[in-house]
Chain A
Amino acid sequence: MKKNDLKNALKREAPFFMIMPALIWQVLFFFVPFFIILGLSFVTFYGPVIGQIVTFNYYLSLCDNAHVRIVARSLIFAVLNAIFCLICAYPVAYFLARRITRWKNFFLFFLILPFWTNMLIQIHAWFFILERNGLINTILLKLGIITTPLHLANNIGSVFLLMVYCYMPFMIMPLYSILEKLDQRLIESSYDLGANNWQTFFNVTLPLSLPGIKTGLFLVFVPSFGEFVIPALMGGSKHMFVGSLISHYFLMAFDVQKGAAFTIASGLVLLLVFVLCNWFFSKKMRTTKGPSYAAFTPESLPSDVNSGE
C-alpha cells in the first residue's frame, strides 16, 4: 500500500522532475550569481573566513570623478549609438520592408550576415580601413587631398564608429520585422482619408512601428553600455567604458568586491534608463498594452526576419 503511494507520488511529480533542470540551471547560474555579486559588494573578507561585516565602503569608493566619468561616457555613447543607429536604420528597414519586391531574399541575406558574423572579425576588418596606412589614408594620399596620413583609428571617434557598425544589425532587424508585418491596408486607408506621404508616415507608419523601435533601441543600448571589446581593440585601450572597468576589476586588478559594487551600481543606472525608456514608450504606445518584457521577446530578433514573408 505504502509502496503504491510512493509510486503514485513519483508519477505525479514527473513533470516537476522534468522542468527542474532548466529551472535549476537558471537559478544556479543566473540568480545565485546575482546574489553572490550583491553579497560581495557589501561584505568585507578577512582571509579565508567571511567576516560578517557589512560595509558601504565599496560603493562610497566609487563616488569619485574617474568612475562617474566612465559611467557617464558609457551612458552617452550607448544613448547616442542607439539613436544614431535608429536614424540610419529606419529608412533602410523601411525601404527593404515596403519598397523592395524583387530580390528581397538576396537583400535580406546580406542584412542578416553581419549579425551572424563575429564582432571581433568586424573590428579586425576596420583596421584595414582606418589605420595609418589603411584604405582611407591610401586613397586620400593618392588623390592628394592630404600629405601626411590621418590618425583615424585608436581614438574615441573610431570607437563610436565601430559601435555603430557592430550594433546596426541589431537595430535593423526588429525594425524590418515590424515594418514588414505592417498592414498595407492601413497605409492605403490613410491615403484614402486624404493624408499625404508625410502625414501618413507620422500618423500611421511611425506609431505602428514603435514596438520595433523600442526593441531595437534596447538591443543596441544594452550591449553598447556594457561594451569592452571595441574600446580595448579599436580605442587603443585609452578610455575605459563600463564593461572595460568591470573586466579590469575582475580580471586585471582582482579587486572583486569593488568590481561587484561597480557592477551593481552600473546595473542600477541601466535599470534607471530602462524605466525611463519604458515610461516614455508606454506613454506613446497606449494602445499596445502588455508587460514590458514583450519588447525583448526573441521572436523580434533576426531569427524571425524571414518568417514575415
Chain B
Amino acid sequence: MTTHYSWRSTLIIRVSIVCLWIVLIYFFLYMPRLINSIYTQKQITILTWPAFIDAQYVQKFEKETGIKVNIRYFDSNEELYVKMKKTGGEGYDLIIPSDYILDTLIQEDLLKKIDRTKLHFFDQLYPHLVGTYVDPHNDYSIPYWWGLWGMAFDKSFFGDKKMDESWALIFNKNGLGTHTISLDDGRELILIAAQYLFGNVDVLDEKQLEMIRTLLIDQKPWVEVYAEVDRANFLLASKICPIGIMVDSIIARVMLEMPDIRFIMPKEGGFLQIDSFAIPKTTTHEKEIYQFLNFIYSVPAMQYHTSKFGFFSPVKNVQHADCPIAFPTEEQIQKTRFFKNIISREQISDIWIALKS
C-alpha cells in the first residue's frame, strides 16, 4: 500500500463532490417550481394584494371546476414590478397591479391581451373604471378593486368646529395641527402633497419637489403615525387619532359602528385608485383564467368579497347593503385624479429618507 496518493485524483474527486452538493442544493431551491411544472393538473396561480380574494370562497370555484387556485400575495407595486421585470411573471397566471404600475407593465410589453368576448360581465363594469388613461380600451386590464382617496376624521374630537374640506387639515398646522395619521407610502403621500400645493400637475420640477419635501418635514411634528390605510382605519376606529388620509371604501365599515367618523373629499381633489386584473405574457392556462374571472366577477362572489373586505364592487347590480357612505357620485369621481407616474423612484426615496431621518 502506498502512502502518497496522486493529488490529481484527489482534486478531481473533491471537485466533483463539491459540484454534486452544489447541484443538489440548487435543485432543492428550485424544487417548488419543478414540482409546479411537473404538476400539469389544471391550476392557476394568482398574485394579489392581501385581503382582495378570499381563499375560503375560492374553494367553491375549485370544487365546481376542479381547477386548483393558488393564491400568492405581494406587498407593494414595486415588488410586483421587479418580479414581472425579472422573470416576466413566470409562474403566475393573474396579477393585480395598481393603475400606475399597470401603465409601466403595458409599456414594457409584459402583459397578454385580454379576449373580451370570453368575459360575460364586461358590460356590467362601472363606466368610470373602464377606459382610463392607462389602458384606454381595456385591452390588458379588468378593474377589480377601487377606492377614492380623501380624508376621514372623528367628529367627537372637534366638537362643532367647522371643518374646511381641504388637504390643509393635515398638511397645514393652522388647519388642525393635531395627532394626524399620515401615509406610510412615499409615492402616494408625495402626490397628495403635490395635489395640495400645486393642484393638477403632470410634471414636478426640482423646485416643486423641494417644496413638497419642506411641506412633509414641516408636517412631521404633528404626525402621530405614518401608516397604511388599514392601520389608519384602525387608529381612527379605536379613537387614537382624530384625522388621517383615508380611502372611502375602507372606512365605510367603521362608519357603520361609529357615527362620529366622517369621510371628506378635499376640494383640491382626491385620488382614484384602481387595481385591475392583468395576465402576464408567460401564462399557459388561459382557459382556466377566463373561467376564474367569470366566477369572481359574478354577483354573489362580488357580494361576498366586497362585504368581507369592505370595498366597492366594480360591477353593477351588487348591493352595498348597509353602506353609510353613499356610493361615490359621478361628481365626486370627476374631482379625482390618478396617482400618475410623474415622479421617479429615486426622487421618492430621497424625499422619504430625508423625511424619516
Contact = CB atoms under 8 A, between A and B. Distances in A.
A and B touch in the complex (CB under 8 A): yes
Interface of A: 5-6, 8-10, 12-13, 16-17, 20-21, 24-25, 28, 65-67, 69-70, 131-133, 151, 154, 236-240, 244-245, 248-249, 251-255
Contact of A151 (B10, B179, B220): B179
A116 B17 CA distance: 38
Given A251-B76, A251-B79, A70 B21 contact: no
B114 interface: no
A232 to B, nearest CB: 9
7 contacts: A13-B13, A66-B353, A133-B238, A236-B224, A239-B356, A252-B78, A253-B349
Nearest to B240: A132
B224 A67 contact: no
B226 A237 contact: yes
B5 interface: yes
Top 6 A-B pairs ranked by shortest CB distance?
A: A66-B357, A236-B225, A253-B349, A237-B226, A240-B356, A132-B240
B357 A240 contact: yes
Contacts of A238: 220, 223, 225-226, 356
Nearest to A132: B240
Contact of B184 (A13, A66, A132, A237): A237
A237 B225 contact: yes
A133 B18 contact: no
Contact of A13 (B10, B79, B225, B348): B10
B22 interface: yes
B346 interface: yes
Interface in B74-100: 75-76, 78-79, 82
Interface in B301-315: none
Contacts of A69: 357
A154 B232 CA distance: 13
Contacts of A248: 349, 352-353
A249 B345 CA distance: 11
A89 B213 CA distance: 43
Contacts of A25: 25
Contacts of B345: 253-255
Contacts of B13: 9-10, 13, 16
B357 A21 contact: no
Nearest to B22: A24
Determine chain B's interface SS by DSSP, over half rule. Answer: helix
Nearest to B345: A253
Contacts of A151: 179, 224
Question: Which range contains the number of B residues in contact with the other chain?
Answer: 35 or more
Contacts of B238: 131, 133
A10 B5 CA distance: 12
Given A12-B5, A21-B21, 10 more contacts: A20-B17, A20-B18, A20-B21, A133-B238, A151-B224, A154-B224, A239-B356, A240-B356, A252-B352, A253-B348
Given A67-B357, A237-B184, A24 B220 contact: no
Contact of B354 (A10, A21, A66): A66
Contacts of B5: 8-9, 12
Interface in B332-357: 345-346, 348-349, 352-354, 356-357
Interface in B12-47: 13-14, 17-18, 21-22, 25
Contacts of B17: 13, 16-17, 20
Contacts of A9: 5, 9-10, 13
Nearest to A13: B13
A104 B87 CA distance: 57
Contact of A254 (B18, B75, B78, B224): B78
A164 B227 CA distance: 24
Interface in B124-166: none
B60 interface: no
Nearest to B9: A9
Greatest chain A CB density within 10 A among B76, B82, B186, B356 is at B356
Contacts of B225: 154, 236-238
B239 interface: yes
Nearest to B79: A251
A254 B13 CA distance: 42
Contacts of A65: 357
A19 B285 CA distance: 44
Nearest to B186: A252
Contacts of B75: 251
Greatest chain B CB density within 10 A among A10, A16, A67, A236 is at A236
Contacts of B240: 131-133
B314 to A, nearest CB: 28
Nearest to B227: A237
B279 to A, nearest CB: 23
Nearest to B17: A17
A238 B179 CA distance: 13
A226 B14 CA distance: 38
